Amino acid sequence: MSDLFTDKIKLAIRSCQFHIQGIIPYPLLEEISVSLFNLQTKGILIELIILMDNEIKSIKTTNILLRISAAGGQIFTILNLENEITFFLNIDKKIKISSTENKYESVTNIQTTITEGILLYQNLKTAAIPIIHLSGCPEISFYASKEWVKTGDKINITWSVDQAQSILLLPQNISLSQKGSMSIPINMDCLLTIQAKNENITAEKRIFIKALTRLGLSFTVQILTTKLNNYIPLEPHPEIPFNYALPPDCDVRLFWEADTMGILAEDNWGEIPVIGYRDIQFKKDASLQFTWKTIFELKKITLSFYILPEASSIEAPKKEKSKNSIFSFFKKRP
């Protein structure tokens, strides 16, 4: 395990808002355990498979694993006898840091690599040993029909709780029965929590739901002409989205921002960063063809630009002064 990878982990988890999931070796867990404890006090869900070099023997190791589990984390251990398992962390389902990255590469934001990590985690989880905090806590089973969802869509949640006097769904603060299901609209990233209490003992289980925007891609156009000192925004046609009328001989600056859970490309430019801009000059009417690929679908988006004709320079006819006309009329009288 390189120092660079460890430093990336420490830096990335500081920006975590909802969820950490991954497979890491125990020495790394020990290094970041204090940071993980602090994140759990903020309600962040931690799901980890810990690669162990040998059986759990020390009190320190046991206490670290149990403390994360007791605070609502889902912790599993597995022996890594052959040292062939790739370890990684997914942060909020938008950043993946992997031990297989080249040391000069930046943190990965591509959804496909995040999905690969999730699948690896789920597959290894079936053979791993769960760490259970045996303190008489209520036992909670909690599932969601989807963990990636379009903004505004609904998911179904199902739960079953034993040995609990009261059960709440947070952050909605809804009182629940011991067993049931319900449909919930998702309008933003959220961390759903089942909180169960039995006398003075509280247990929680959490699921992080990632909300993706409907289009997943937004554009902003700015223009600069010889009469302007700086770029100004240009709005699209009010009734035809993504259609822009440009004054002649102007510079165009196109900004785009995409949901990071996808791959963005333009037909002539090829694959491009999910957030960026480009300066362009159009000499004639033109279109840009974007392809936006997400886990839900493949979308084609066309931006059309039309050059306005130059303003006519025909001089307006001069009007004859009425006062002179009247004087002329009087001069002609006998």
pLDDT tens digits along 221-269: 999 988 888 889 999 988 888 999 999 889 999 999 876 567 889 999 9
User: What is the predicted pLDDT for the residue at 330?
Assistant: 41
Is pLDDT above 50 for 332?
no
Distances (CA, A) of 135 to 61, 106, 228: 18, 42, 70
Is pLDDT above 60 for 320?
no
Question: φ and ψ at 164, to 5 degrees?
Answer: -135, 140
Is pLDDT above 60 for 202?
yes
Q: Are 154 and 186 in contact (CB under 8 A)?
A: yes
Is pLDDT above 50 for 321?
no
User: What is the predicted pLDDT for the residue at 267?
Assistant: 94
Second CATH level (architecture) for the domain 136-212? Sandwich (2.60)
Which residues make beta-bridge pairs with 258? Answer: 217
Residue with tokens 């011991």: 178
pLDDT in tens, 123-169: 999 989 988 765 557 888 999 998 888 888 899 999 998 878 889 99
Q: Are 19 and 208 in contact (CB under 8 A)?
A: yes
More reliable by pLDDT, 212 or 229: 229
Is pLDDT above 50 for 111?
yes
Is pLDDT above 50 for 325?
no
Q: What is the dihedral of CA 288, 294, 296, 298, to 10 degrees?
A: 30
More reliable by pLDDT, 327 or 78: 78
Quote the mean pLDDT of the chain: 82
Tell me the C-alpha distance between 101 and 53, whole Å: 23
Is pLDDT above 90 for 290?
yes
Average pLDDT score over residue span 78-103:
77
Nearest in space to 259 (alpha carbons), one of 307, 294, 221: 294
1-134, what's its fold?
Endonuclease; Chain A (3.30.870)
For 70, how many CA atoms within 13 A lie in the half-sphere containing its CB? 12
Query: What residue segments make up the domains of the chain, in order of their start?
Result: 1-134, 136-212, 217-307
Q: 295's torsion region: left (phi>0), alpha (psi -120 to 50) or beta?
A: alpha
Give the DSSP per-residue string, 119-180. Answer: HHHHHHHTTSEE----SSPPEEEEEES-SEEETT-EEEEEEEEES-SEEEEETTTEE--SEE
CA end-to-end span of the chain, whole Å?
115
